[in-house]
């Protein structure tokens, strides 16, 4: 994980570790379907956190949005 925004990291760290793992391992790839996101960065959004990274299976770019509570 790479942090591009401190506020995004703070939001991410507030999530329980088991929830973080569920989110990382449940990302949609247009080529592979459900996959794991790797080499991802965290980006803050007023509505939550955006994870941008690559598909573990095919290396295509994928993203996962996590809404605020």
pLDDT digits (tens, 9 = 90+) for 18-65: 999 999 999 999 999 999 999 999 999 999 999 999 999 999 999 999
36, two tokens: 């794991």
Comparing C-alpha atoms, which of 44, 47, 41 is closest to residue 7? 44
User: Does residue 4 register a pLDDT over 80?
Assistant: no
Domain with 58 in it: 2-64
Residue 11 is assigned to a structural domain of this protein: yes
Residue 23 is assigned to a structural domain of this protein: yes
Q: How many distinct structural domains can be found in the chain?
A: 1
User: Is 0.75 surpassed by the pTM of this model?
Assistant: yes
Give the integer Cα–Cα distance in Å for 9 and 50: 11
Residue 26 is assigned to a structural domain of this protein: yes
Please give, one letter per residue, the 3-state secondary structure of 13-52.
HHCCHHHHHHHHCCEEECCCEEECEEEEEEEEECCEEEEE
């Amino acid at each position: 994980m790479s942090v591009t925004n401190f506020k995004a990291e703070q939001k991410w760290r507030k999530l329980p570790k088991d929830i973080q793992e569920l989110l990382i391992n449940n990302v949609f790839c247009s080529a592979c379907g459900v996959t794991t996101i790797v080499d991802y960065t965290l980006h803050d959004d007023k509505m939550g956190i955006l994870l941008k990274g690559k598909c573990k299976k095919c290396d295509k770019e994928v993203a996962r949005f996590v809404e605020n509570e």
